[in-house]
């Protein structure tokens, strides 16, 4: 199960790392060669002591004292001090004057250490600590060791900003008292205060936190959101670690415009099933003046006798939910929400694999009177079989058959569309020949369908059927040669491909169309047998498709340096069944060309073009360029044209714009400002459609993000959000999270923490 974001785990470890690491050190240290040793009973002398100093005095088997540049070692633990004494009978080490402790990448210093070594009981006065691996440091007035797994610290501080004596760190976490119980995985801080740039931003009388990476119940960092629909929203999530395989999150939310709300999420991961249940409830939306809610359920379960259950359900209370709550969008198409439940069972056959399934699929359509959408049919039920079989003589047989009941969903705007049943079966028999450098695949496909509708078809019938065969021959070459260029060894390929398809004409104009739609015309679909997706329409075809692709690849790294391709289709006969509804008589199809290269250092160039020989002009084109001279520096531009439909320009960037010198906390905390954003501009409408713009500030020990997002939700409507986040490196993130928005929308965007070779950690839970 994914780990829920912890809050303030690192501070707890940092405050008391001295005690924790000393405990581990003394319990696990390995023997070393001693220059001077004190012997006691067998139990206490299991790990020899190595002692170096300018002057050493002592009594055998009783005690010793060392003065001047003292270094006391036991295993991988080293204590340095001006003076150190050790009593064998008490197993007591006392160090005074510039005490320093070192173990691995952890370093500590203080004025006085008193420690019963084996029992790990004692105290350390005025300790300061730093961890090279984590890049954090801190201090406390006193640490009391209460045993190998329990300790207490007084007036503790923690920060990832360097302390060079020139001023206070930019942020610091303080507590009057901290108690740790390592066995119970619990830490408690009394009087916790978080200060940023000298201002207190979080004050809690009592703070509970885990001391390891294990999950723990508690409050997650508060979330702050601002948009033009709900105003300011403040959420305080509580994480409940129910069991190792179950957890839940409850988040009360207060909106300045809409009032109180409650979000919840429950997750489970069992041996035979897993899932997620999430809900959002507004008992009284003060803007809409009604109760509103949203529900999301996902589950995957293994049942008896090989059955498997998949379910995906998203439902909301009203059509305006997707506009009013853009933060809660949980589906690729926010206005089309699924309800899908499927049972499936594999069937074992010696000749291949067979899958039987039963599904119910329904849609909730969120309609906008100003911009209605055409909803797909509900399928209740949908029953089918899929099989991939091996037959003699090296042939393969792929079969699929389904029975569907198509019903118009609630909210459908075109209520005149027919409803009814459809049974269909498709089978493809092929015989592939594949050898190094070439391949040939002939295939025969049969597409059959039978219909029974509740309303009469256009010719008055309520039932009809049809069967359409397709013969195809697909062949290609894969040629390769070694070459050199651009100062490196390269491999160049030449991959010509030829596809012949013949599908006889069958009149389908009287049949219902439940799920067929036009395929997008691109480098993939041009090599398909049918111009339609779905079952209900099969285009007639007597055509040849020819194309060639050439790639240039770096022989050492395998990275693609250059790709060029072109493809075109030739009609041997007119095509009568087309997505446009009019016969296609043009012998040569539009020419498709593509190209991409990274030959020019720091540049990536992409182009895709659909050229019409009929009008001698491009009808669709995509041109893109990205310039990335180094980490956190990227500029991207894309031009998109669909003649007669859309024309737009997209700009995206992440770029440093300002760097301050920083004098208060050393060079590492210099502040670098980055501008981030993406803008989509419609040349046809002369307006910005969607946009994201903001700044990131990296001060080394903290990162601040300010991002504004504007998304169109209608012809004259848009939702604007303001995302603010403060990331205290080594501690937590506070505020709303813009990282998903930035990563999904800005080509080449990188997290600023990548500079340190780490991935920003999730904040662990805390309990006030």
pLDDT in tens, 88-126: 888 888 999 899 888 777 788 899 999 887 777 889 999
What is d(CA 737, CA 164) in angstroms, rounded to the nearest whole number? 32
Say what the pLDDT of residue 102 is. 81
What is d(CA 605, CA 595) in angstroms, rounded to the nearest whole number? 8
Asked if pLDDT for residue 37 goes beyond 70, the answer is: no
Say what the pLDDT of residue 754 is. 55
Say what the pLDDT of residue 133 is. 67
Q: Summarize pLDDT for 661-708 with one digit per residue, the tens.
A: 654 444 445 789 999 999 999 998 888 888 999 999 998 889 999 999
Q: List b or e across 277-312, with b for residues whose CB sees 16 or more CB atoms inside 10 angstroms.
A: bbebbbeebebeeeebbbebbbbeeeeeeeebeebb
Fold designation for 9-216: lipopolysaccharide transport protein A fold (2.60.450)
Mean pLDDT, rounded, for 289-311: 94
Q: What share of the chain is helix, strand, coil (3-state, %, to 5)?
A: 5, 60, 35
- What does the domain layout of the chain look like in residue ranges? 9-216, 219-334, 431-599, 651-756
Q: Is the peptide bond before 438 cis (omega within 30 degrees of 0)?
A: no
10 Å Cβ neighbour count for 119? 15
Nearest 5 degrees, angle CA 589-CA 593-CA 597? 170
Tell me the three state secondary structure of residue 91: coil
What is d(CA 25, CA 102) in angstroms, rounded to the nearest whole number? 10
Q: Is the pTM of this model over 0.85?
A: no
What is d(CA 49, CA 128) in angstroms, rounded to the nearest whole number? 25
Average pLDDT for the chain: 85
Task: Please tell me which residue, 11 or 48, carries the higher pLDDT value.
Answer: 48
What is d(CA 506, CA 284) in angstroms, rounded to the nearest whole number? 57
Give the confidence band of 8 by pLDDT, cuts at 50, 70, 90. very low
Mean pLDDT, rounded, for 376-395: 90
What is d(CA 579, CA 249) in angstroms, rounded to the nearest whole number? 48
Asked if pLDDT for residue 753 goes beyond 80, the answer is: no
Asked if pLDDT for residue 68 goes beyond 50, the answer is: yes
Give the confidence band of 312 by pLDDT, cuts at 50, 70, 90. very high
Say what the pLDDT of residue 330 is. 62
What is d(CA 430, CA 447) in angstroms, rounded to the nearest whole number? 15
Q: Which of 588-602, 628-642, 705-719 has the lowest mean pLDDT?
A: 705-719
Say what the pLDDT of residue 18 is. 30
Asked if pLDDT for residue 20 goes beyond 50, the answer is: no
Asked if pLDDT for residue 542 goes beyond 80, the answer is: yes
Asked if pLDDT for residue 607 goes beyond 70, the answer is: yes
Give the confidence band of 28 by pLDDT, cuts at 50, 70, 90. very low
Asked if pLDDT for residue 401 goes beyond 90, the answer is: yes
Say what the pLDDT of residue 559 is. 87
Mean pLDDT, rounded, for 616-626: 94
Q: Summarize pLDDT for 510-536 with one digit per residue, the tens.
A: 999 999 999 999 999 999 999 999 999
Q: List b or e across 339-366, with b for residues whose CB sees 16 or more CB atoms inside 10 angstroms.
A: bbbebbeeeeeeebebebbebbbbbbbb
Say what the pLDDT of residue 283 is. 95
Residue 552 · residue 561 · CB < 8 Å: yes
Tell me the three state secondary structure of residue 537: coil
Q: Which of 267-271, 575-579, 747-751 has the lowest mean pLDDT?
A: 747-751
% the chain with pLDDT above 70: 88
Q: Is the peptide bond before 381 cis (omega within 30 degrees of 0)?
A: yes
Closest residue by Cα to residue 328 from 285, 297, 286, 295: 295
Mean pLDDT, rounded, for 301-312: 93
Give the confidence band of 329 by pLDDT, cuts at 50, 70, 90. low
Say what the pLDDT of residue 166 is. 61
Asked if pLDDT for residue 762 goes beyond 80, the answer is: no
């Amino acid at each position: 199960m994914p780990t829920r974001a912890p809050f303030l785990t690192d501070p707890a470890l940092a405050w008391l790392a001295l005690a924790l690491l000393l405990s581990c050190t003394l319990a696990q240290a390995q023997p070393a060669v001693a220059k001077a040793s004190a012997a006691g009973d067998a139990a206490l002398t299991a790990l020899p002591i190595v002692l170096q100093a300018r002057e050493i005095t002592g009594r055998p088997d009783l005690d010793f004292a060392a003065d001047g540049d003292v270094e006391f070692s036991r295993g991988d633990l080293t204590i340095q001090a001006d003076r150190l004494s050790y009593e064998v009978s008490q197993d007591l080490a006392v160090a005074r004057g510039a005490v320093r402790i070192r173990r691995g990448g952890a370093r500590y210093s203080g004025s006085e250490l008193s420690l019963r070594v084996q029992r790990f009981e004692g105290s350390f006065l005025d300790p300061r600590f730093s961890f090279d691996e984590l890049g954090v440091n801190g201090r406390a007035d006193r640490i009391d060791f209460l045993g190998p797994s329990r300790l207490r610290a007084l007036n503790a501080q923690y920060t990832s900003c360097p302390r060079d004596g020139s001023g206070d760190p930019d942020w610091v976490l303080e507590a009057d008292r901290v108690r740790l119980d390592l066995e119970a995985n619990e830490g408690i801080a009394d009087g916790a205060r978080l200060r940023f740039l000298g201002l207190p931003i979080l004050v809690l009388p009592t703070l509970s936190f885990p001391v390891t990476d294990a999950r723990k119940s508690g409050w997650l960092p508060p979330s702050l959101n601002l948009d033009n629909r709900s105003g300011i929203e403040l959420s305080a999530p509580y994480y409940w670690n129910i069991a190792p395989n179950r957890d839940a999150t409850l988040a009360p939310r207060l909106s300045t415009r809409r009032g109180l709300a409650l979000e919840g999420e429950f997750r489970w991961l069992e041996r035979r099933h897993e899932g997620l249940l999430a809900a959002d409830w507004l008992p009284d939306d003060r803007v809409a003046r009604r109760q509103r809610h949203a529900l999301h359920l996902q589950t995957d379960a293994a049942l008896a006798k090989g059955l498997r259950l998949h379910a995906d359900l998203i439902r909301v209370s009203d059509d305006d939910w997707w506009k009013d709550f853009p933060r809660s969008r949980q589906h690729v198409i926010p206005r089309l929400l699924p309800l899908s439940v499927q049972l499936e069972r594999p069937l074992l056959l010696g000749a291949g694999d067979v899958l039987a399934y039963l599904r119910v699929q329904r849609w909730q359509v969120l309609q906008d009177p100003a911009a209605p959408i055409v909803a797909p049919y509900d399928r209740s039920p949908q029953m089918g079989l899929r099989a991939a079989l091996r037959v003699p003589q090296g042939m393969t047989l792929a079969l699929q058959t389904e029975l569907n009941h198509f019903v118009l969903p609630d909210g459908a705007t075109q209520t005149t569309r027919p409803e009814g049943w459809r049974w269909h079966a498709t089978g493809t028999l092929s015989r592939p020949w594949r050898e190094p450098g070439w391949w040939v695949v002939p295939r025969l496909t049969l597409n059959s369908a039978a219909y029974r509708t509740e309303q009469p078809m256009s010719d008055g019938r309520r039932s009809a059927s049809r069967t359409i065969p397709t013969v195809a021959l697909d062949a290609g070459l894969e040629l390769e040669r070694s070459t050199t260029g651009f100062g490196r060894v390269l491999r160049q390929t030449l991959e010509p491909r030829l596809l012949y398809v013949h599908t006889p004409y069958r009149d389908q104009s009287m049949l219902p169309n439940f799920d067929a739609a036009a395929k997008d015309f691109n480098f993939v679909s041009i090599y398909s047998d049918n111009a339609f997706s779905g079952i209900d329409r099969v285009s007639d075809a007597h055509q040849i498709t020819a194309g060639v692709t050439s790639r240039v690849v770096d022989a050492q790294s395998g990275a693609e340096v250059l790709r060029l391709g072109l493809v075109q289709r030739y009609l041997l006969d007119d095509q009568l069944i087309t997505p446009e509804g009019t016969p296609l008589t043009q012998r040569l199809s539009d020419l498709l060309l593509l190209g991409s290269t990274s030959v020019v250092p720091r540049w990536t160039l992409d182009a895709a073009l659909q050229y019409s020989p009929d009008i001698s002009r491009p009808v669709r084109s995509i041109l893109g360029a990205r310039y990335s001279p180094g980490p956190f520096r990227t500029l991207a531009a894309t031009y998109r044209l669909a003649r007669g439909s859309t024309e737009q320009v997209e700009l995206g960037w992440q770029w440093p714009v300002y760097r301050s010198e920083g004098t208060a906390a050393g060079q590492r905390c210099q502040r670098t400002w980055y501008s981030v954003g993406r803008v989509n501009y419609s040349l046809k409408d002369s307006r910005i459609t969607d946009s994201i713009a903001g700044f990131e500030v990296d001060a080394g020990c903290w990162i601040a993000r300010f991002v504004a997002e504007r998304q169109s939700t209608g012809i004259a409507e848009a939702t604007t959000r303001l995302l603010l986040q403060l990331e205290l490196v080594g501690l937590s993130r506070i505020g709303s999270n813009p990282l998903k928005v930035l990563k999904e929308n800005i080509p080449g965007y990188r997290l600023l923490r990548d500079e340190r070779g780490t991935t920003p950690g999730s904040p662990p839970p805390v309990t006030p």
